[in-house]
A and B are shown apart, each in its own frame.
Chain A
Amino acid sequence: MKAFNKHTGLVAPLDRANVDTDQIIPKQFLKSIHRTGFGDNLFDAWRYLDEGDIGLTPNERQINHTFVLNQPEYQGASILLARRNFGCGSSREHAVWALLEYGFRCVIAPSFADIFLNNCFKNGLLPIVLKEEIIDDLFAQVASGQRLELSVDLPGQAVTRPSGELVQFAIEANRKRAMVEGWDDIGMTLSHSAAIRAFETSHAKVMPWLFVDR
Chain B
Amino acid sequence: MAPRTLYDKIWDAHVVGARDDGQTMLYIDQQLLHEVTSPQAFEGLALADRKPWRSGANLATPDHNVPTENRSLGIDGITDLVAREQVQTLDRNCKAHGITQFDILDRRQGIVHVVGPEQGATLPGMTIVCGDSHTSTHGAFAALAQGIGTSDVEHVLATQCLVGPKALNFEVWVEGTLPAGVYAKDLILAVIGRIGTAGATGHTMEFRGPAVTALSMEGRMTLCNMSIEAGARAGLVAVDEVTLNYVHGRPFAPKGEHWNQAQSYWHDLHSDAEASFDRRVALDASVLEPQVTWGTSPEMVVGVGGAVPDPDACEDEQQREGYRRALDYMGLSPNQPVTDIHLDRVFIGSCTNSRIEDLRVAAEIARGGHVASPVKQAMVVPGSGLVKAQAEAEGLHQVFLDAGFQWRDPGCSMCLAMNPDKLQVGEHCAATSNRNFEGRQGHGGRTHLVSPATAAAAALAGHFVDVRQR
A binding-site residues for B, Cβ under 8 Å = 15-18, 20, 22-23, 26-28, 30-35, 45, 51, 54, 83-85, 88-94, 96, 111, 113-115, 118-119, 122-123, 172-175, 177-178, 183, 185-186, 188-193, 195-196, 199-200, 203, 206-210, 212-214
Instruction: Kindly report which residue of chain B lies nearest to residue A94, judged by CB atoms.
Output: B150
19 A-B residue pairs with CB within 8 Å = A18-B297, A22-B416, A22-B435, A27-B418, A30-B37, A88-B197, A89-B435, A91-B131, A92-B36, A93-B131, A93-B151, A111-B201, A114-B202, A115-B147, A118-B149, A186-B159, A189-B158, A190-B50, A196-B16
Cβ-neighbour of A22 out of B48, B54, B159, B439 (below 8 A): B439
Give the chain A neighbours of B159 by CB distance below 8 A.
Answer: 186, 189-190, 193, 196
Instruction: Kindly report which residue of chain A lies nearest to residue B299, judged by CB atoms.
Output: A18
Bound Cα distance from A189 to B21, whole angstroms: 10
Given known A-B contacts A93-B150, A186-B50, A214-B252, A114 and B201 have beta carbons under 8 A apart: yes
From 93 to 133 in chain B, residues with beta carbon under 8 angstroms from any chain A beta carbon are 100, 121, 123, 125-126, 131-133
Cβ-neighbour of B163 out of A17, A18, A189, A213 (below 8 A): A189
Chain A CB within 8 A of B40 CB: yes
Bound Cα distance from A122 to B23, whole angstroms: 13
Interface string of B1-41 (1 = CB under 8 A from A): 00000000000011011011111010101100000110110
- Tell me whether B37 and A192 are in contact (CB under 8 A): no
- Tell me whether A188 and B20 are in contact (CB under 8 A): yes
Bound Cα distance from A4 to B311, whole angstroms: 41
- Tell me whether A93 and B36 are in contact (CB under 8 A): no
Chain A CB within 8 A of B273 CB: no
Q: Closest approach, in angstroms, between the C-beta of B67 and any C-beta of chain A?
A: 13
16 A-B pairs besides A195-B25, A208-B261, A210-B126 with CB distance below 8 A are A23-B438, A26-B443, A27-B418, A33-B85, A83-B318, A88-B231, A90-B435, A91-B149, A94-B150, A115-B133, A189-B158, A190-B159, A199-B17, A200-B160, A207-B29, A209-B262
Given known A-B contacts A32-B82, A51-B443, A190 and B158 have beta carbons under 8 A apart: yes
Cβ-neighbour of A17 out of B53, B165, B318, B438 (below 8 A): B318
Bound Cα distance from A54 to B418, whole angstroms: 12
From 236 to 259 in chain B, residues with beta carbon under 8 angstroms from any chain A beta carbon are 252, 254, 258-259
Q: Closest approach, in angstroms, between the C-beta of A52 and any C-beta of chain B?
A: 8
- Tell me whether A178 and B36 are in contact (CB under 8 A): no
Give the chain B neighbours of A193 by CB distance below 8 A.
Answer: 159
- Tell me whether B40 and A208 are in contact (CB under 8 A): no
Bound Cα distance from A190 to B159, whole angstroms: 6
Q: Closest approach, in angstroms, between the C-beta of A71 and any C-beta of chain B?
A: 18
Bound Cα distance from A180 to B20, whole angstroms: 15
Chain A CB within 8 A of B83 CB: yes
- Tell me whether B19 and A192 are in contact (CB under 8 A): yes
Bound Cα distance from A119 to B22, whole angstroms: 19
Bound Cα distance from A199 to B167, whole angstroms: 22
Instruction: Kindly report which residue of chain B lies nearest to residue A185, judged by CB atoms.
Output: B155
Instruction: Kindly report which residue of chain B lies nearest to residue A53, judged by CB atoms.
Output: B82
Q: Closest approach, in angstroms, between the C-beta of B227 and any C-beta of chain A?
A: 11
Cβ-neighbour of B40 out of A20, A33, A114 (below 8 A): A33
Give the chain A neighbours of B147 by CB distance below 8 A.
Answer: 91, 115
- Tell me whether B254 and A209 are in contact (CB under 8 A): yes
From 414 to 432 in chain B, residues with beta carbon under 8 angstroms from any chain A beta carbon are 416-418
- Tell me whether A174 and B133 are in contact (CB under 8 A): no
Cβ-neighbour of B21 out of A113, A123, A178, A214 (below 8 A): A178
- Tell me whether A91 and B148 are in contact (CB under 8 A): yes
